Structure 1
Amino acid sequence: MGASHEASLRELLARLIEAGRAFAQAEIALVRKTVAAWAGAAKIGAALIIVALILANAAVIVLVAALGMALARWIGPAGGLAVAALIALIVAGLLGWLAAKRFSEMLK
C-alpha cells in the first residue's frame, strides 16, 4: 500500500507541476496579446496626433500670413509679412522660455 500511495503522490505532483507550467504559459500568451493590442492602438493614436500637429502648424502659418497681409495695408507687403513673422518669432521665443523655465523648476 505504501508503494502505490507514493506513486500516486508522485503522479499528483507531476500533474500539479504540469498544470502550473500550462497556466504560466497561458498567462504569458495573454500578456503578449494584450501588449500587442495596446501597441497597435498607441500607433494609431500617435499617428493621429502627428497629423493634428501638422494641420495646426499649417493653420498658424496661414494666420501669420493673413496678419502680414492685413498689416500690408499700412506698411507694404514685405513690411507686413516681416512684422507678422517677427510677432510669431517673439511668441515662439516666449513659449520656449516658459517651457525651459518649467523644466528647470521640475529638475530642481
Structure 2
Amino acid sequence: MSDLPPEASGGPSIGGQTTQEDLRALASRLIEEGKDWAAAEINVVTATFDTWSKPVKIAVPLAVVAILLVLAAVTVFVAAFGMALAYWLGVAAGLAAAAFITLLAAAALMLIAVEKLKRLDR
C-alpha cells in the first residue's frame, strides 16, 4: 500500500466524492472506448462487405443472362423434339407430347429437390 493519505492517493475522501468522480470517469471512458470499438467494428464489416460485393455485382448479372440463355436453349430443344415427334404423331400431338415429357422431367426434378429439403429438417 501507499504511505500517502487517502485524499492524496485518489482514495475515498469526505463523503466519498473522489470515489464517485473516479467511477464517473471510468464509466465515461468505458462508454467512449465502447463507441470507438463499435465504430471500428462497423468499419471492418463495411470494408469486408465492399470487398466481397464488388465481384458479386458483376457475377450476378452474368449468371442471370446465362440462366436466360439456358432457358431459351431448352425451349428450342423441346420445340425441336416436338417437331421430330410430329413426323409420327402430327404437329400438334408432337409438340404436346414434347411439352408433356418436359413437364414430367421437371416434376421428377422437383420431387428430388423436395426430398432433399425434407432431409434437412431431420
Match of 1:58 among 72, 83, 86: 72
1:86 lines up with 2:100 in the alignment? yes
The alignment-based identity, stated in percent, is 42
Query: Over residues 36-76 of structure 1, what are the superposed CA-to-partner deviations in whole Å (9 max), with x where a residue is unaligned?
Result: 13112112212111111111111100000000000111111
Say which one has the larger Rg: 2
CA RMSD of aligned residues (A): 2.2
Aligned counterparts, 1:17-96, within 5 A: 29=43, 31-96=45-110
Matches of 1:105 and 1:31 in 2, distance apart?
34
Matches of 2:109 and 2:92 in 1, distance apart?
26
Instruction: Report how far residue 31 of structure 1 moved.
Output: 4.6
Gaps of 5+ in 1: 1-16
Instruction: Report how far residue 34 of structure 1 moved.
Output: 3.4
1:102 lines up with 2:116 in the alignment? yes
Gaps of 5+ in 2: 1-28
| 4+ residue runs over 2 A deviation | 23-34
